[in-house]
């Protein structure tokens, strides 16, 4: 028989056992809670959820801002053996309804900012039994609305449902960059795995840290940064309920005394474009990046500007958090670093053979935080979850020193003149130009039906540069066949709710944009 294990007890009750009750667990605009106060609120809410009929393994969808209410509902659901399912707060009503139906959610927890969207979605989710919301939220339907404050006033009950490390814990939906979102099903035990590998052995997180994340907690990366990691060691989570913006988080970092800062490459680039003061992150000891490869030029500019090192890594919704990363004192810019202790990696060629150092292939990872599969997606699960190994879908190359470099999503690789081209390599060259703030390279079909690299570029504030100049700049730093054939300037790159560039959207419109650009120049 497996030993009892519940992720809520691991994150919360252990802190009280270690005498951390008076320590600050959560802070931010929505209020402060010590570990003792958070434990009391979670225990009461868990008892309240039982009273309204929530049962083990039923799904509770969280359409919520980063706040004490989010953390409370997430932990209380785990405590009673139910399955919390955080989802993007950027969803439209139709998309939210689709996820509610897909998850067969019994309850939906909603923050006031997103109540109008939820209200439109609820009629199309017939299996919903009730809503969880604040006192200021109103809904037009007939479903019962259970107020979070009233749930938190139930009698405290320290009982924990008899889960084990292998029990169903929570689901996280993929961001949909390569298709429709899928729910990755995580075990209770996965929480301890990511906390005791990346958080402890790479970040070196400790009770004195204060964690601030641009990535929101509905995202696997943000959930680790803002909930799992700080609570696991008795540190403080700085929760920002508003959408992340450079100026907003800069102020929050100063006010809260943040020491660890988490974001993705797009957000780091936006911070540079915002022209923030160099001492914006004066108290931050380390920054972490994930979501997409961090170009060396962007990493250098950002660290020179703010005086903080960034460690770049890669994680996936399916692995819960980062499994490959640079480490403090061992940063190799332009690479994703080395395997996080506790994970094994291999690069396989098109015939699933181990690729030697220096030879590109698809990255595979093995570790105990990997999800058990996708909910109700048999074929997709078989393609991605291969025994003990997870196929990431990213093309990587490993060097002789054991550092891994991302060449892009396997499906994003393109051929020019019959030779494979890595978009990441061309983007890295473009970002070395001082006028370029962001770049994304995709394939566009020319008039002969052949694929050619096309670059979308966002310029730095106050900078001006021509397409011809950037193409020539790439030609001098890269083999000629890798240069972009066209450079298209744009105000912003399309991104997913989690900040990843939507390359599928750029690919779909690239040919038309090139044609429109040609027509514009001809008319001019």
Nearest of 39, 51, 111 to residue 76 by alpha carbon: 39
Please tell me the distance from the alpha carbon of residue 86 to that of residue 109, in angstroms, as a whole number. Answer: 9
In CATH, 35-163 is 3.40.50.980: yes
Between the CA of residue 407 and those of 26, 221, 342, 404, 476, what are the distances in Å? Answer: 38, 21, 24, 10, 20
Q: Which residues pair with 171 in a beta bridge?
A: 185
**HSE-up (13 A, CA, CB side) for residue 20:** 26
Please tell me the distance from the alpha carbon of residue 167 to that of residue 89, in angstroms, as a whole number. Answer: 27
The gap between the terminal CA atoms of the chain, to the nearest Å, is 76
The tens digit of pLDDT for each residue in 241-257 reads 999 999 999 999 999 99
Question: Which residue stretches of the chain have pLDDT < 70?
Answer: 1, 176-179, 411, 415-420, 446-450, 497-498, 518-524
Nearest of 237, 105, 262, 113 to residue 170 by alpha carbon: 105
Please tell me the distance from the alpha carbon of residue 212 to that of residue 29, in angstroms, as a whole number. Answer: 13
Give the model's pLDDT for residue 415: 61
**HSE-up (13 A, CA, CB side) for residue 151:** 27
Name residues whose C-beta falls within 8 Å of residue 395's C-beta, 6 or more positions apart in sequence. 360, 361, 362, 363, 406, 407, 408, 409, 410, 413, 422
Phi first, then psi, for residue 482 (nearest 5°) are: -85, -10
Give the model's pLDDT for residue 522: 39
Maximum Cα interatomic distance, the chain, rounded to a whole number of Å? 76
In whole angstroms, how large is the CA radius of gyration of the chain? 23
- Reading the block at residue 14, the tokens are 């252990």
DSSP state of 418: T
Q: Are strands 33-34 and 24-27 parallel, antiparallel or unpaired?
A: antiparallel
- Alpha helices, H only, 325-422: 378-384
Phi first, then psi, for residue 180 (nearest 5°) are: -70, 150
Residue recorded with tokens 């814990």? 169
Give the model's pLDDT for residue 425: 85
Nearest of 71, 418, 6 to residue 223 by alpha carbon: 71
DSSP state of 28: S
Distance, C-alpha 477 to centroid of its chain: 32
User: How many helices and strands in the chain, by DSSP H and E?
Assistant: 17, 26
Asked whether the beta carbons of 238 and 68 are under 8 A apart, the reply is no
Query: What does the mean pLDDT of the chain come to?
Result: 92
Q: Where in the chain is the domain with CATH 3.40.50.12780?
A: 191-343+364-373
Asked whether the beta carbons of 312 and 406 are under 8 A apart, the reply is no
Give the model's pLDDT for residue 448: 55
Give the model's pLDDT for residue 521: 45
Name residues whose C-beta falls within 8 Å of residue 386's C-beta, 6 or more positions apart in sequence. 364
- Three-state SS string over 202-230 comes to HHCCCCCCEEEECCCCCCHHHHHHHHHHH
Give the model's pLDDT for residue 417: 56
Please tell me the distance from the alpha carbon of residue 500 to that of residue 433, in angstroms, as a whole number. Answer: 22
Three-state secondary structure call for residue 462? coil
Q: Where in the chain is the domain with CATH 3.30.300.30?
A: 413-523
What is the pTM (predicted TM-score) of this model? 0.84
Give the model's pLDDT for residue 520: 46
Please tell me the distance from the alpha carbon of residue 238 to that of residue 43, in angstroms, as a whole number. Answer: 22
Task: Enter the CATH code of domain 191-343+364-373.
Answer: 3.40.50.12780
Fold held by 413-523:
GMP Synthetase; Chain A, domain 3 (3.30.300)
Which secondary-structure segment (H or E) carries 348?
strand 344-348
- Reading the block at residue 130, the tokens are 């009730």
Dihedral of CA atoms 241, 245, 249, 252 in degrees, nearest 10, equals -50
- Reading the block at residue 443, the tokens are 């394939």
Name residues whose C-beta falls within 8 Å of residue 256's C-beta, 6 or more positions apart in sequence. 27, 28, 210, 212, 236, 238
Nearest of 466, 468, 493, 471 to residue 482 by alpha carbon: 471
Laid out side by side, the sheet with 210-213 consists of: 33-34, 24-27, 236-238, 210-213, 260-263, 286-289, 310-315, 322-325, 338-339
Please tell me the distance from the alpha carbon of residue 315 to that of residue 321, in angstroms, as a whole number. Answer: 5
């Amino acid at each position: 028989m497996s030993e009892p294990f519940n992720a809520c007890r691991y994150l919360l009750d252990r802190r009280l056992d270690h005498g951390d009750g008076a320590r600050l667990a959560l802070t931010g605009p929505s209020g402060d809670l010590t570990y003792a106060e958070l434990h009391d609120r979670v225990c009461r809410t868990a008892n309240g959820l039982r009273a309204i009929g929530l049962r083990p393994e039923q799904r509770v969808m969280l359409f919520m801002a980063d706040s004490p209410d989010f953390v409370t509902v997430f932990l209380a659901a785990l405590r009673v053996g139910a399955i919390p399912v955080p989802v993007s707060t950027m969803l439209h009503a139709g998309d939210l309804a689709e996820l509610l139906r897909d998850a067969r959610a019994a309850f939906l927890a909603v923050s006031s900012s997103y109540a109008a969207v939820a209200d439109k979605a609820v009629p199309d989710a017939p299996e919903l039994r009730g809503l969880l919301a604040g006192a200021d939220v109103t809904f037009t339907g007939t479903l019962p609305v259970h107020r979070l404050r009233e749930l938190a006033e139930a009698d405290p009950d320290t009982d924990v449902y008899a889960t084990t490390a292998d029990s169903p814990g929570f689901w996280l939906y993929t961001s949909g960059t390569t298709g429709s979102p899928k729910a990755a099903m995580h075990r209770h035990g996965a929480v301890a795995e990511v906390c005791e590998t990346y958080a402890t052995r790479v970040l070196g997180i400790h009770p004195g840290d204060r964690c601030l994340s641009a990535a929101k907690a509905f995202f696997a990366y943000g959930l680790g940064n803002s909930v799992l990691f700080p609570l696991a060691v008795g540190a403080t989570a700085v929760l920002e309920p508003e959408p992340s913006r450079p100026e907003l988080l800069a102020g929050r970092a100063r006010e809260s005394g943040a020491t660890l800062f988490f974001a993705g490459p797009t957000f780091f680039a936006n911070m540079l474009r915002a022209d923030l003061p160099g001492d914006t992150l004066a108290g931050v000891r380390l920054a972490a990046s994930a979501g997409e490869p961090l170009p060396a030029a962007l990493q250098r500019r950002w660290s020179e500007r703010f005086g903080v090192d960034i460690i770049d890594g890669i994680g996936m919704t399916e692995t819960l958090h980062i499994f490959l990363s640079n480490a403090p004192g061992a940063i190799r810019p332009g690479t994703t670093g080395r395997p996080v202790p506790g994970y094994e990696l291999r690069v396989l060629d098109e015939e699933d053979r181990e690729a030697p150092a220096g030879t590109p292939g698809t990255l595979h990872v093995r570790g105990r935080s990997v999800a058990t599969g996708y909910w109700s997606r048999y074929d997709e699960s078989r393609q991605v979850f291969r025994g003990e190994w997870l196929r990431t879908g990213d093309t990587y190359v490993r060097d002789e020193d054991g550092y891994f470099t991302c060449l892009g999503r396997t499906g994003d690789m393109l051929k020019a003149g019959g030779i494979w081209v890595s978009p990441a390599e061309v983007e890295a060259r473009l970002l070395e130009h001082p006028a370029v703030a962001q770049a994304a390279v995709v394939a566009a079909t020319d008039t002969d039906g052949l694929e050619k690299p096309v670059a979308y570029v966002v310029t730095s504030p106050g900078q001006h540069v021509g397409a011809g100049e950037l193409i020539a700049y790439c030609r001098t730093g890269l083999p000629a066949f890798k240069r972009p054939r066209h450079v298209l300037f744009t105000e912003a790159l399309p991104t997913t709710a989690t900040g990843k560039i939507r390359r599928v959207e750029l690919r779909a419109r690239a040919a038309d944009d090139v044609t429109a650009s040609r027509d514009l120049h001809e008319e001019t």
